[in-house]
Chain A
Amino acid sequence: MPGADKETDLTERIEAFLADLKRGGSGTGPLRGSGEMARETTYLLRRITAQARWSSAGDLMEIIRNEGRRMTAAQPSETTVGNMVRRVLKIIREEYARSRGSSEETEQQESLHKLLTAGELSEETFREHFVHLKANVIEAINELLTELDGTTDNIAMQALEHIHSNEVIMTVGRSRTVEAFLKDAARKRKFHVIVAECAPFCQGHEMATGLSKVGIETTVIADAAIFAVMSRVNKVIIGTQTVLANGGLRAVNGTHSVALAARHHSTPLIICAPMFKLSPQFPNEEDTFHKFVSPHEVLPFTAGEILSKVNVHCPVFDYVPPELITLFISNIGGNAPSYIYRLMSELYHPEDHKL
């Protein structure tokens, strides 16, 4: 039975992905970087679409929603996974609507009338069977994958509009997107980058090595020196782990202090974030907002006796409120934090915000 084989193969892949997610998520586990994570998730969702048993769009959405719930539960700090699941759900809705011949626009719009008659256009209406739906959905997911592949380049392309000659730019920790952004600008312009090391993980060191290799003048500073150095800085350009629904950030530890220092000196704070990092989650919505890892980096295990007398915590993320942020640069252009809600409604269907 080839069908049964396919199915066990699929569940095996899903289990392996879940196990990888549980073992660390981006940066520490086998999956590195949220870009990679987004791609892996989308590949897996495409596979589910192709191999799982479903007859109508409603079935497929239910399957994907279930798997998505398990994936997000496995590593709640990786919002990218949930975002990709929502994108795929939206794709299915659109393809279904197109097959039925109704326009996408009307279904998108919220209106008082619609709120009153809510529930009318829910899962029941996704029961109709279309022969080409599967192929169309897979085709649309492929388009999404191409979009994902190009995000970093799309962001980097805008670098020359934002970075000018002889500017001093500060960044914090390591972000692949920011690294590509700065490197792209360095092809034409000369500027100086100050990297805050971002203790205790000190990814800033890696970032600085990467930048200096392509000939950018780079300085590494301790996190404590951020405020002191800020007065010389023209722009702060950082990456983030997640862009929240209110336009705030969930970014690596220490970003908040950078943002506050930038606000004090009225230095613009620019965030490089691809669209797949945009999450419908609000800050403090869930307990899973924070992620604490082993305190090893803060106080090494070798310290001995002292460990039984103190509590050591090692949080990974900071929350940066939207009012501190000047501009988001995503793969579809620059946006202000106040515009995030609009992007959100374009990317995700409101019914999918909660998986």
Chain B
Amino acid sequence: MSSRGGKQKKGNVTSEQEEEEQPLQAVLVADSFNRRFFPISKDQPRALLPLGNVAMIDYTLEFLTSTGVQETFVFCCWMSNKIKDHLLKSKWCRPTSPNVVHIITSDLYRSLGDVLRDVDAKNLVRNDFILVYGDVVSNIDVSQALQEHRHRRKVDKNISVMTMVFKESSPGHKSRCEEDDVIVAMDSKSKRVLHYQKTQGLKKLQFPMNIFQHGSDEFEIRHDLLDCHISICSPQVAELFTDNFDYQTRNDFVRGILVNEEILGNQIHLYVTQDGYGARVSNLQMYDSVSSDMVRRWVYPLTPEANFTDQQGQGCTHSRHNVYRGAEVSLGHGSQMEENVLIGRDTSIGANCHISNSVIGNNCTIGDNVVLDRAHMWNNVHISSNVEIHQSVVCDGAVVKEAVRLNKQCYFSMLPVSQVVIGPNLSLPEGTVVSMHHPEEEEEDDDDEFLSDDQEVGHSKDKTRQKAFNPAEVGPEGKGYIWKASMNDTEDEELAQCLWGLVLNPDPESDSESEASEESQDRSRSVSPEIDDVNAFQLEVLGTLQRGLEENIVCDNLVLEINSLKYAYNITLKEVMQILTRVVLEYPFQQQGTQLTTLQYTGSLLPLLKTWSPVFKNYIKRAQDHLDCLSAVEELFLEQDTHQTAMVKVLMKMYQLEILEEEAILKWFSTGATNDKSRQLRKNQGLQKFIQWLKEAEDESSEEGE
């Protein structure tokens, strides 16, 4: 047995060396699987939303290319056609591109988990790969992290499965997304993650003590980390997602790995960088801060004037106070661009305007006396005179009529696509969202949300036409529907939620993939499994085995069933093994009453052990598993002290069936005694003899070996 194991390990090492010469691959998930940017994202996938007049996915691809990625798989789901068109036109798909981009589309992806399961099914990755979302903006040099990751995998023989890249930034930083706030406990020397918890909405944090009891003597608990959503994964990550079909997000995965760390032997590491910039545009608040960071040149060399997408006419010039101007920009008399302003090409601005901290897209027209502060305007926006816009997003083709005020402290007003018209003479309160899509139409469409393509969107537009626009909401000449009215003070909490999550959809069920379910999962995970669960699980396992015996079910299927039970009751692998052992050993008592003689007991138990040995073998793999199993056996026989003599036979049988290894038994025998009772147990004559026999057998085999 042991020699075979050695060979396998050697095989792994050589294959790893071969792998290193292969090109670096990346998996880019061009879908958010949530609806934070709704209703904008109804017409435009999130990865294509412009950030500084460049689609977000271009930033991600540039980041990957500059780190030396040679092959990128882009997974699209929602509006995959648009993403595909965009990529085919971009420089990434030119034959000279150093980074080969493959586009994989499917309507069936509902989460990151689905994507990675597909990666595994299609066998796309052969080596360590970088996993990012299509809305990550970064200039971090991950080659160092990559090197560390490879080194760890070489030294520890594939134990480390993932290295997450984090950026140091103190709490309160505006580019820190509150949703992603995490607290991480890690081993200072090996950078191994011991505990990982999102802190959003938590007032108390709990750390299991056992994480500090092994490993090195130095630990760090950090809250000053910004999750860049860049992870370096080994190919096992995709396999693990396949094995655990309940993993939906990376958060599930990380928590799953950490909980099962001792059983599966997989570890997750951390790479903390101080240089560079990395953030994910996960909601509108982040959109605002990443956009302003970009204009302030934090993401250098990915700056607006660099024109890294290599598109004709996209270039712009950079002058003092971070003012960027595209080609053919006209600026009226007395207009001021104060600071941090980006203006796209062919945009004309009227007289006496004040613009600061804003991004204005291509082909926009802006009238006289306009005040823009922290405004994000996309392409083809038309703004009439005397308009004031503060901290708002105005999407493609929107028209804002005269004297409209998108209010100060108004969080984002979204006026997405297809000629939304606002005004004149209107003041929109904070948090207003205006769209050409009617909010109610959402509920009707919800079922086929993810399947609907452009056609259907057009179809739904026809529907909306039938409903009248409310002039009180969008102004006398307005076109569009208010999605969310102003917030009162009493709704503070909701406002906060809207700010961070912008939960716009009135129908929570349709959010099945998004934060709502994530949170509920988190909650159930964070609570430790209760006793009731364990008992219920035990009963279920018993039922399963019983049925297996009656209906003659194959052991593989039994394993599958027990695995799914494990997730249903949230049981760790260690507990599964202990419970399984206990259930099997108690099985004769369950079936034939507790008044069995020892002989009857062993007589009925031993065939059972033989039948179910594949089940045991599935769960008992590592040395620690053997010891755990033995201690479970011991515990049971301590309770059933009349049957202690049967223990030897059970152990003998398990040894013969190769469920348990002799080394483990010997180790258990020599070290396991903790109290008087178990010491008593070890003095049992039969057991002594068995151990003696084992030792001799071992000597013989080692002699043979020589």
Contacts and interface: CB of A to CB of B under 8 A. Distances in A.
Contacts, number: 80
23 contacts: A8-B96, A11-B96, A12-B96, A15-B94, A15-B97, A22-B301, A22-B306, A73-B315, A287-B317, A287-B319, A292-B322, A294-B298, A296-B277, A301-B167, A301-B277, A302-B169, A302-B170, A304-B169, A305-B173, A305-B174, A311-B296, A311-B322, A311-B340
A23 interface: yes
Given A15-B96, A302-B168, 15 more contacts: A8-B96, A11-B96, A15-B94, A19-B66, A73-B315, A287-B318, A287-B319, A290-B320, A292-B318, A293-B300, A294-B299, A300-B274, A301-B277, A304-B169, A311-B296
A288 interface: yes
A349 to B, nearest CB: 27
Contacts of A24: 301
A295 B170 contact: no
B92 to A, nearest CB: 12
A313 B297 CA distance: 8
A304 B95 CA distance: 42
A302 B274 contact: yes
B83 to A, nearest CB: 23
A2 B544 CA distance: 68
Interface in A277-301: 287-288, 290, 292-296, 300-301
B297 A293 contact: yes
Contacts of A288: 317-318
A292 B172 CA distance: 26
B224 interface: yes
Nearest to A297: B275
Size band of the B side of the interface?
Answer: 35 or more
B297 A19 contact: no
A307 B168 contact: no
B473 interface: no
Contacts of A19: 65-66, 98
Contacts of B174: 305, 307-308
A8 B321 CA distance: 41
Interface of A is mostly: helix
A301 B66 contact: no
A167 B139 CA distance: 45
Interface string A215-235: 000000000000000000000
Contacts of B315: 73
A24 B299 CA distance: 12
Interface string A68-87: 00000100000000000000
Given A8-B96, A301-B169, A311 B339 contact: yes
Nearest to B289: A308
B96 to A, nearest CB: 4
B171 interface: yes
B308 interface: yes
Contact of A312 (B169, B224, B296): B296
Interface in B83-112: 94-98
A24 B315 CA distance: 17
A296 B298 contact: yes
A312 B321 CA distance: 10
Contacts of A293: 297, 300
Given A287-B317, A295-B298, A296-B275, A8 B167 contact: no
Interface string B171-200: 111100000000000000000000000000
Interface string B305-321: 01010000001011111
